[in-house]
Amino acid sequence: AKAEMTFKERAELCKNELGRRLFGLMEDKQSNLILSADLTKSEDILKLVDIVGSKVCIVKTHADIIEDFTVDFVHKLQDLAKKHNFLIFEDRKFADIGNTVKYQYNNGLHKIIEWADIVNAHSVSGPGVIQGLQKVGLEKGRACLLIAEMSSKGSLAKGEYTKATVDMAKTYSEFVIGFISQNRVCDDQQFLYMTPGVRLEEGKDSLGQQYVTPSVAILQNKTDLIIVGRNIYNAEDPLNVAEEFRQAAYNAYLKRIS
Ligand code: 5FU
């Protein structure tokens, strides 16, 4: 069988400039690791990100869990993104009608459009959600992911829902650069497949989260990036653990393309 395409080769297929930059960044930095910085105080987030920033290609945020969110925090996060060369992904999971998500993206307290390179959306409301987001996002050079599958037990995002989500991404591939998914939900190489629910050991938490290991995600299930939260930010030595994840995930990718 023909060896799989590399990230750099796949960049050429991607119709979104930021997506192309991400593919290149992953290979340059040898990192397909995303840090999920789910802390509730901005100072703690900035400290963590400065420690592990060199190991990751993306830092993922949940702006609405931060108790002291300010524009100053955003500027400091952007400075760290420049210093360590990573992109910022706000895990907002937009899910309303197009007109409302446009405001949620562009307005409100968080003004997500101003600082998040990447956002994501549920497909449950139909293509209007993408139309609304790209109306403000495209001209700013932003990109979006669709949630095709979730890591949590009992998720309804499966089967026909997942398939319809893939079709939606193909229709809007100028703005949609890939998926949040547990599997390679389609064989289209222009897209990136990002997997949350990753830890060094398989298992689950007490609230429905289900975990796979980096090699199950990247080698067995053929996704491209792993998203890791608690296993890194709760570690005694986040830098060392992040490096462990980076190596595990990138080596799994190298094995896949060889
Ligand atoms: F879309 C998804 C999903 O299917 N599962 C998730 O866990 C998103 N997530 C996010 O990834 C979740 O909101 C957390 O921010 C992160 C996983 O964190 P953990 O601490 O590694 O479990």
Say what percent of the chain tops pLDDT 70: 99
- Decide: 46 in ligand 1 pocket, CB within 6 A: no
Catalytic annotation present for 93: yes
What atom in ligand 1 is closest to the CA of residue 150? 4
Residue among 38, 64, 202 whose CB has most ligand 1 atoms within 8 A, to mutate = 38
Q: What is the pLDDT of residue 2?
A: 59
Quick one: what percent of the chain has pLDDT higher than 90?
98
Mean of pLDDT values over 206-211: 98
Kindly indicate the confidence band of residue 256, based on its pLDDT and cuts at 50, 70 and 90. Answer: very high
Q: How far is the CA of 196 from the centre of ligand 1 (A)?
A: 5
Q: What is the pTM of this model?
A: 0.98
Residue nearest to atom 18 of ligand 1 (CA): 229
Q: Which of 41, 96, 135, 222 is catalytic?
A: 96
147 lines ligand 1 (CB under 6 A): yes
For position 7, what pLDDT does the model report? 98
In this prediction, residue 199 has a pLDDT band, given cuts at 50, 70 and 90, of: very high
**In this predicted structure, what is the pLDDT of residue 202?**
97
Cα–Cα distance for residue pair 129/134, rounded to 1 Å = 9
* Mean pLDDT for the stretch of residues 214-235: 98
Distance CA 140, CA 109 (A): 19
Q: 3: pLDDT confidence band, cut at 50, 70 and 90?
A: low
Instruction: Calculate mean pLDDT across residues 63-87.
Output: 98
- Longest pairwise C-alpha distance within the chain: 52
Q: What is the mean pLDDT of the chain?
A: 98
What is the pLDDT averaged over residues 33-51? Answer: 98
Is the confidence at residue 133, as pLDDT, over 60?
A: yes
Region 177-187: mean pLDDT is 97
Whether residue 228 has its Cβ less than 6 Å from ligand 1: yes
From the candidates 41, 76, 93, 204, which is the catalytic residue?
93
Annotated active-site residue 2? The verdict is no
- Quick one: three-class SS letters along the chain? CCCCCCHHHHHCCCCCHHHHHHHHHHHHCCCCEEEECCCCCHHHHHHHHHHHHHHCCEEEECHHHCCCCCHHHHHHHHHHHHHHCCEEEEEEEECCCHHHHHHHHHCCCCCHHHCCCEEEEECCCCCHHHHHHHHHHHHHCCEEEEECCCCCCCCCCCHHHHHHHHHHHHHCCCCEEEEECCCCCCCCCCCEEEECCECCCCEECCCCCEEECHHHHHHHCCCCEEEECHHHHCCCCHHHHHHHHHHHHHHHHHHHHC
Residue 108 has pLDDT above 90, yes or no: yes
Split at pLDDT 50, 70, 90, the class of 235 is very high
Q: How far apart are CA 137 and CA 114, in angstroms?
A: 10
Instruction: Say if residue 1's pLDDT is above 70.
Output: no
pLDDT of 20 above 90: yes
What's the whole-number mean pLDDT along residues 130-142? 98
For 155-174, write each residue's pLDDT tens digit: 999 999 999 999 999 999 99
- Grade residue 215 by pLDDT with cuts at 50, 70 and 90: very high
Residues sharing a CB contact under 8 Å with residue 11, sequence separation 6 or more, in sequence order: 19, 20, 23, 24
